Amino acid sequence: MKKIFSTPDAPKAIGPYSQAVDANGFLFISGQIPIDPATGKIAEGGIAEQTEQVMKNIRAILVAAGLDFSDVVKSTCLLSDMDNFAAMNAVYGKYYATDPPARAAYGVVKLPLGALVEIETVAARPQ
């Protein structure tokens, strides 16, 4: 059985997908780009500011599902420019100071709405 999670504290989906789907004890969070849910616009600033907004969006969805960053088991980071990897990683690392999840990071040609970063996340419910 699957359950759809949605919160106004994260950006609403900009296409035919859900913010998150809970299935078999796992929460699959759709790729989050740095949209500020209060304004509906991409966060101002560079990669650090955009990564911070992405992580805030992920946190909001985790909280709505009754989870937190300690429950995250896998992240996939997409960057429009791999030269931004170190700066993204510095912000990302603040959220996973201990026992970080498995992760992949890719450079892509372009992200939605001109974003510099997108991160999708999988969390597991505690047993």
Residue 80's pLDDT band, with cuts at 50, 70 and 90, is very high
Q: What values do phi and psi take at 80, rounded to 5?
A: -75, -15
Q: Which CATH class is domain 2-124?
A: alpha beta
Any idea where the domains of the chain sit in the sequence? 2-124
Q: What is the pLDDT of residue 19?
A: 97
The pLDDT tens digits of the residues spanning 4-36 come to: 999 999 999 888 999 999 999 999 999 999 999
The single-letter DSSP state of residue 58 is H
Q: What is the dihedral of CA 63, 70, 46, 81, to 10 degrees?
A: -120
| pLDDT at residue 49 is higher than 90 | yes
What digits encode the pLDDT tens for the residues 58-78?
Answer: 999 999 999 999 999 999 999
Residue 1 or 31, more confident: 31
Angle of CA points 16, 19, 21, to nearest 5°: 100
What is the C-alpha separation between 69 and 110, in angstroms, rounded?
27
